[in-house]
Structure 1
Amino acid sequence: MSSNGARRVGQVVDLTAARARRQRLRRTVILRAANVRADAEVHRHIGVNDALHLADLHDVLVASFGFQEERGATPWHFSSLEDRDKRLDAADELHLHLSDEGDSIAYHFGLWDIIVTAVESYPRDTGTPRALCVGGSGAFGGTEFDLAAINAELTGTTTIREVLMVTTPAVRGIIDRSGIFDFVPLLQALDLTREVGLPEDVANVLGGLPVETDPPARDAFWSVVLGLACMGDELLGNHVLETTMAALGWEDGDGTPLTGARIRELCVRSLTRLAEVGGYGPDALSPVERLDIYRELLRE
């Protein structure tokens, strides 16, 4: 009888904890995953559902860093930064370790150590993907960073048409003319259908951008906005600008490729207006507030 009683006791559910889990609003957390070595750096920016488990994050990181071939026989675990030998429970939900800006844990995959840091978070909508890579640089094993291939691995679905339907025609045109469909996962992660609560004066300023009329200057502005929406560093931003403008066929007056600085000069009046409402420059708003500005700019 005591044995049966023990089994019944073991099945008792903490209703308060269960109710709290159900009532907690799930969020999308933007993670920066980085492997920094003396000779190279590899970075990924990934948006994930914070209700996923660490075991799920392992799968996401494997796809994002191209570890698929080694995953079967390679040991892995997560740990705190303070004690890398103490394993975190792979069944833990992400928000237990990565909820506030600056929260960090370590991911160990074989001999590789990757630091995973929460950059920001915001409430999820039902249509938001469980995980998307929104930017990155560098790669392991002599391969190249391929955003489209990573997100094809993560999502397993084709969403180009649905995403572009809610994207502003100017950006749809840039994607079509440049052939850079890597922007589609970024736009999907931004969730352009999500309602934003911008002040009316800010929305009016954004509605008037870009102010330039020349085609190269207008393309430059939208390329800058797409780069800003990646929420990466200046190096990533310049790569986005230069790659996009080159793919569109624009070059400098002397026939040389346009640099990031030169591209920003082409649309400096629009960027000045964008800075006035906090979407650009040294006095820019917080990442979460800037995302709402970029959503407003990029959606139809």
Structure 2
Amino acid sequence: MKKIEIKLPNPLAPAKSILIDYHLPKERTNSQTPIIVFLHGFKGFKDWGAFDQMAQVWTQKGFLVFKVNFSHNGTTTESPLDFEDLEAFGQNTITKELSDTATAINFIFNKSSDLPKRNRKDIRLVGHSRGGSTAIIYASKDKRIKKVITLSAVSDLEERYFNEKNKKEWHKNGVVIIANGRTNQKMPLFESFHEDFKKNPANYSVKEATQKLAQANTPQLIIHGAKDSSVTPKDAQDIFEWSSSTTTQTKNAKLVLIEDADHTYNTKHPNLISNIEELPTPFLEMTDLVARFE
């Protein structure tokens, strides 16, 4: 299985590239091959932990899989596994992530893109953690997304990031410092993050976006670890309730809590397990649920 990487400029900040990869299956793809686009989370990147093996599993199950690095996630195209650009990390916004996602989808959807044959009418957007929130919000704005699948998604971005403590820090210092427990780095969130929220509140409302997906009858699979302490299962339950709270009363949303699973489905970075079959059971259950969702 061959992995190919491409770089695309972010229209909002052309100096920063969106790094995307896709995995070529052993068998030739065709016009019926469905597409998965994967978005990583906060303090994450497309090659975190076992995400490559995740893409391999989905490729083996018949999908053409794209993993996207947000342009301002703090890594660089030269060092996609390390947070070497904390300035960019601090300047990131959900609006930039939505722009990154649109750029990737437009490229994948473009008939003239130099990509394998694929079914442009079957694009599934999958997001982990905050990437799940971005996936919901983006899909509510783009009818080309036919299914939305969230993995441990954050339900309330306002509550998580724009609390009184953070607002006081931004007002006093112009920056909020986020500790990265894995790398021991102090990662900045500049006040521009809060300013973008105030300027574009709809770009941060998972509730509003989820209700729009329900009204549009867009199938949504909400997966969460029952033992997730980083983003609790209540977030998943909130998203599920919002998906059925519209007047249309659609039944297109499905909630699955995976027993014994934590925020990353019991995987770690770096991932030292090369044999896919030996990966944690919750992680394999998650990948299978995504592949089987109709």
What TM-score do the two structures reach when normalised by structure 2? Answer: 0.29
- Structure with higher Rg: it is 1
What TM-score do the two structures reach when normalised by structure 1? Answer: 0.29
